[in-house]
Chains A and B, each alone.
Chain A
Amino acid sequence: MPTTDLVEKLAFLAGGALLAWLLQQIRVAWAEDIAVVNEHIKDIEKLSESAQNYWLKTPADVNEDAALAARVRAAHAATTLLYPVMAKACGAKKVQYEQLSIELFTTATGGSFEGKGRTLDPSRAIAVHDCAVRLIHLLRLSRRGLLSLRRLTELRIDFER
């Protein structure tokens, strides 16, 4: 028969192991969420880069213009996959995230984008960079919020959606 003291020690050990397992699960979940935000930031950087390449070049012919535009479209498509999830992840800054995302899309693919005879537009390239930087900054701030315990009660993010 085990003594009461031994039972208490075993119970304490089991409780400690359970707590450690739970904390590890939370840590893994947070790390995965942060990784998703980081990937989204990378996608935005790629969009910004491809849009700047587009607007800082006068294409030699229609084929080159189509190729440059396709790169911008493809880069933007990558950012749209996480748009609803990131809007939710930004919590109180959801509207700001949505507005900046639309502004980036509008700046990168607006004006004479895919237009016949379009020429280079340095001011638009600068505007794309500026908008991307502001959006990335917002996401970095939100990423910090993801690590806090507030998210458990305020955000209830479901990254599986």
Chain B
Amino acid sequence: MSTTEALPQAYGRVIDPYSLGRDRRGDAGGGRIYVTGRGEGGPASRRVIVGFGFWIFLLSDIVMFSVFFAAHAVLQTETAGGPSGRELFNPSHIAIETACLLASSFTCGMAAVAIEARSQAWTQVSLLITGLLGLAFVVLEAGDFATMIREGAGPDRSAFLSSFFAVVGLHGLHVSAGLLWLGTMMAQVFVKGFRPDILHRLLCFNLFWHVLDIIWVALFTLVYLVGALR
């Protein structure tokens, strides 16, 4: 028996019976070319591996955030006689910050569309608007923090404020780091063009930015809106 006979006839085109969530619909048309990432077909494409790995990192980042959220939720009423959320939070500021971040998430999506169309100009414009909106958010938030600390409502005032500055500050740090990454990506796209490795980095940045907006949704709901009820 030769080695070629030992291989299944449909080698390279076979469907892995052990893979999760596969449906066999596509099989009838015979349209599939290759099985990637499940044994016979070799590993998945680099783009999928990079994206999935970064997604795992982002989920671990979300888990870290959830610990800060839990601490804040527990300490939200522990004001130690100091100011409460109702007295401190300015709803119009929170609304503007939310609008900035949501709009930047949208323009980041527009950048993804532009990247898919390989349009250098639209990619740069979309990323620039994304960055400016993100910068506006960070500046507004830093201004709010400075005002609170000046009025004696800094992180040392009460357990409520310690946990507030921890969770909101952690998100602010993420956005600031994202802005540095964004600037780097704009330069890389400009100099190196749409190379595969640059596209991988853009995909990861896109995911990172959208996840920051998702965390902000939890933040303005749990910390600001629920906090203002206390």
Chains A and B come from one and the same complex: no
